[in-house]
Structure 1
Amino acid sequence: MTMPLVVGADLATADGARTPGRPQPRFLKPGWPLVVLFGGFPVWWALGMAQLIFFVAAAAMAVILYRREQPLRLPKGSALWLLFMVWMLAGVLMVRAQAPQTVPGTGGMGRVAGFAVWGGWYVSVTIAMLYVTNTARELPTQRVVRLLGWMFVVTASFGVLAVVTPELEFTSLMELLLPRSLTSTYFVKTLIHPSLSSSVDFLGYVQPRPTAPFPYSNDWGNNVALYLPYFMLACFGRDAGRLRKLGPVVLVASIFPIVFSLNRGLWIALALAAVYAAVRLAVNGRTKALYALVAALVVGGILFVSSPLYDTIVLRVETPHSNDRRAGTAETVVAVTGSGSPFVGFGTTRTMQGSFSSLAGGETAECHQCAPPPLGTQGFMWRLVLTTGFVGTALCLAFFAYHFLRRARGPAALDVTTCTVLLCAVLCFLFYDSLGAAMFTAMMTIGLMARSDLPAEEVAV
């Protein structure tokens, strides 16, 4: 059983239910925050609210949880996550501290604001996990799976558009409403300015990489890796119905943006997901599903190798590009944290002095890549290490490992799907800054896993 915790016990019933003397609006059906968030995501992107909407949805879910009559249930192992949250919040005490090998005098309100934003993400994803866990009776698991599968369709569709019309961009409503002094900054503009792609030239020619409906191409790849298992379950699972005919069409179309994204982390995650799913299907004795997966991979692989897309992947693999920067960032983060604040970290990211090869190094007109990225970027794992120390990192990873291992032998298709998502999520921690939409999905996944600990009569399938 999940651990009960009484919260707001005298106020109201669960999401979508009626409270005596306080009737709920009829259009607020169970799960409406997730439907609004994911179902309308293309609209939120066009309005420049693709990041803000996660906080809005989390706030709505928090209100719903507070108004419940039933005790709030915490997934097993939540003590690890609660300890991590305490550890993360303690990092605010280190925000103004000077980290070794970093630029001095860059603290102040900027770091505090950054800490508040990323802390807000941690709180939001925690609420998402609790919401999915505690609405098992009202919000069917299949609906959650289909919403996340729908997000794969949305992300892949935007990827196809990015391949066809990579230059498309426009001014959003948020850009019109916010002051120019704010929207002119690169970070804010990236979050609220709708554009389909970003371009790179490290292959020797200009190559657009899909970004929409997320700010960066790496975000696009990270989210594709986590949404795809849910799409597979929604379209090829036992209750797929008419969606079974849609699945192959979307999968074939998604190949093009996945290849042109040049996201090696995404490619590795998808390969790992396929191998893991095949092993789990074999162990569970689901031979028909295993044969179908293997056949699809073989046929798809033959067609792919015979296509020009294969040459793009070979060229990308042979062009390391960011390997040295990523490795240098990771090594520096570990060294800085180990020598400066190994237990609690430094709360926020830091700007490194010089470059990886010279203290006097930095970006020049001839070498934009000479400037090192901020320490704590280039992978959520390194953000964890720098901002929460080795203890906070261990607590976070232990929480994910605990839930993965608990369901690793589960025979149900949902067990295979959720374990695949968590496996891909943790792998992507090494490459991508996952604290955002991807972490939202990962924590919702843990919420779905926690439903397995509830009595069968309390879970709507």
Structure 2
Amino acid sequence: APPGRSPSGRPRPGRPAMIVDLPREGRTSARPLSSVPEPAAGTPGRPLPAWPLYALFAIYPVWWALGMTSIIWALAAAPMAWLLMRKRRIQVPPGFGIWVLFLVWAVAGAASLGLVAPGTMPNSGGFLGFAQRIVLYTAATVMFLYIGNLTEERMPLRRLARLLGLLGIMTVIGGVAGILFPEVSFVSPVEMLLPKSMTSSKWVEDMVHPGLAQVQDVVGASNARPKAPFEYTNIWGNNLVVLMVWVFVGWWATGSRGAKWAVALLAVVAAIPTVYSLNRAMWLGIVIAVLYVAFRLMLQGRLFVLGVLALGLIVGMLVFALSPLSTMVKARAENGHSDNIRSTLALRSVEAAASSPVLGYGSGRALRGSPSSIAIGRTPTCEQCGNSTVGSTGQLWLLLISNGFVGTALFFGFFLHSLWRYRHDRTAYGIGGSLVVLLSFWFSTAYTSAGSPLSLTFVSLALLWRSDQARRQREIG
């Protein structure tokens, strides 16, 4: 059967996207998109401009150099929110209410900030971290709605995929630079403007002090783990996998033969910082991505493309096995130095959710002691000592302690609904968008996502949403 149709040839049932009319006098209404005429230029409902997306993605290294990597997502969402409010008629996808309910639940968690979670330090639930997370959740939501309300004329799907892919290319370049020049870092203009009382905080310094790599002792020696143009190596790894999905969609699936060769070369280059990042969750994320794409191609009967993918994978594995990179992977597998603390923090998150299953505790908490010692401070002989933060080792664990079982179910319920809703989209955009959403579940066990990872996931979901709209319009036509 054609995509979106049943074996009998009839269109599959599905609720159309809705238009929400922002009220002028307290009245709100919602109508199917197909029933709303296209507004004339110059009216409050005129098409949205695409420049906020170009300003965010096309010059992203500039924002990184200015020390604005952690705040640019919220700043970019501000003009988008203003333009959406002026539009008055805002299109929202089916299931969006689940996400709105999660946002309400997350805000309500402020009532629990003063409580003490099991096994954590008193007074360690700070309002600043809570507020930052709510702002970043809201910024990702605004981007999602903004892109979903852009017309194909203002921002074609292919151009948006390539805009994300452009940031992916920048991320590969940043990764290679981090391997070659790991010690390079500098004081950003934002850092210069902040008072010393703020920049003395390691958390603030990480956000405003640009650097090419994190130099850490992971496999028994100092290792350069790339992070540019983001704040941390883990964020770099998460984002690189997501952005490379759109490199393949934008240039491989819809590009010329020359573009395909360029993508293949980029993937080879990206393999070097990928291995040197010593990021195991990232490595497994790549495996998940390859298997998922192979599965989707198999369902479509595209055996030739599947064969090319398998051949390329075999050749890549042989080259990798004969290169020095294989030694790095083996050494990382034998040195799971963070496994102990990760398992301890995950257990504390589950205990916290069990003790406050409805609202949680509003934010993460400082662990009382550590897996290695009940002492508080680190020492040269006990690097694992100290008050690590419960909820810092993955979005799943952060949600459990911050928002309880209910909030966690709402967060992931929205993405599960989206995967099911768009499962019939067999286009490159449909496969790519659903893959990013699927990867967000895996990465949530190892990385926190508030900030660039969540925003990129929502941008990808907006691509998936718009691709589904186009598919349904083709079926109607």
Further displaced range: 150-159 or 287-296 = 287-296
Partner of 1:40: 59
Q: Is the 8 A contact 1:356 1:372 kept in 2?
A: no
1:86 paired with 2:101, answer no
Report the Cα offset of residue 316 of structure 1: 0.5
Q: Is the 8 A contact 2:375 2:385 kept in 1?
A: no
Correspondent of 2:50 among 17, 21, 31: 31
1:265 paired with 2:265, answer no
1:171 paired with 2:173, answer no
Correspondent of 1:134 among 139, 144, 149: 149
Partner of 2:119: 101
User: How many Å separate the matches in 1 of 2:218 and 2:460?
Assistant: 36
User: How many Å separate the matches in 2 of 1:355 and 1:308?
Assistant: 35
Correspondent of 2:321 among 255, 280, 305: 305
**Aligned ranges 1:9-408 → 2 under 5 Å:** 18-19=41-42, 30-68=49-87, 71-106=89-124, 111-137=126-152, 138-240=154-256, 243-339=259-355, 341-356=356-371, 359-360=374-375, 362-408=377-423
* Counterpart AA for 1:264: R
- CA distance 1:311–1:139, shift in 2 (3 Å): same
- CA distance 1:141–1:377, shift in 2 (3 Å): same
User: How many Å separate the matches in 1 of 2:442 and 2:236?
Assistant: 15
Which consecutive residues of structure 2, in runs of 5 or more, have no partner in the other structure? 1-15, 26-36
Partner of 2:439: 424
Q: Is the 8 A contact 1:103 1:352 kept in 2?
A: yes
User: How many Å separate the matches in 2 of 1:170 and 1:47?
Assistant: 10
- CA distance 1:243–1:249, shift in 2 (3 Å): same
Report the Cα offset of residue 388 of structure 1: 0.6
User: How many Å separate the matches in 1 of 2:123 and 2:73?
Assistant: 33
Report the Cα offset of residue 240 of structure 1: 4.8
Report the Cα offset of residue 180 of structure 1: 2.1
Partner of 1:51: helix, strand, or coil?
A: coil
* Counterpart AA for 2:76: A
Partner of 1:209: helix, strand, or coil?
A: strand
User: How many Å separate the matches in 2 of 1:85 and 1:262?
Assistant: 34
Partner of 2:120: helix, strand, or coil?
A: coil
Report the Cα offset of residue 248 of structure 1: 1.8
1:442 paired with 2:457, answer yes
Partner of 1:207: helix, strand, or coil?
A: strand
Report the Cα offset of residue 450 of structure 1: 1.8
User: How many Å separate the matches in 2 of 1:205 and 1:99?
Assistant: 36
Deviation by residue 1:330-387 (Cα, 9 ceiling, x = unmatched) = 0111112212x11110001111111235544652232121225201110011111011
User: How many Å separate the matches in 2 of 1:84 and 1:29?
Assistant: 27
* Counterpart AA for 1:68: K
Which consecutive residues of structure 1, in runs of 5 or more, have no partner in the other structure? none
Report the Cα offset of residue 73 of structure 1: 1.1
User: How many Å separate the matches in 2 of 1:436 and 1:286?
Assistant: 36
Partner of 1:369: helix, strand, or coil?
A: coil
Deviation by residue 1:408-428 (Cα, 9 ceiling, x = unmatched) = 342211111111111111100
User: How many Å separate the matches in 2 of 1:198 and 1:151?
Assistant: 20
* Counterpart AA for 1:293: L
User: How many Å separate the matches in 2 of 1:6 and 1:394?
Assistant: 29
Q: TM-score, normalised by structure 2?
A: 0.89
Aligned residue pair count: 448
Q: TM-score, normalised by structure 1?
A: 0.92
Q: Is the 8 A contact 2:422 2:468 kept in 1?
A: no
Root-mean-square deviation over aligned CA pairs: 2.5
Q: Is the 8 A contact 2:352 2:360 kept in 1?
A: no
Further displaced range: 365-374 or 264-273 = 365-374
Further displaced range: 444-453 or 223-232 = 444-453
* Counterpart AA for 2:147: V
Q: Is the 8 A contact 2:159 2:250 kept in 1?
A: no
Determine what percentage of the aligned residue pairs are the same residue.
35
Deviation by residue 1:77-96 (Cα, 9 ceiling, x = unmatched) = 11111111111110011111
- CA distance 1:283–1:455, shift in 2 (3 Å): closer
Deviation by residue 1:243-267 (Cα, 9 ceiling, x = unmatched) = 3342122111111100000000000
User: How many Å separate the matches in 2 of 1:454 and 1:104?
Assistant: 49
* Counterpart AA for 1:77: G
Deviation by residue 1:88-140 (Cα, 9 ceiling, x = unmatched) = 11001111112222112345xxx122211110001001111111111133321
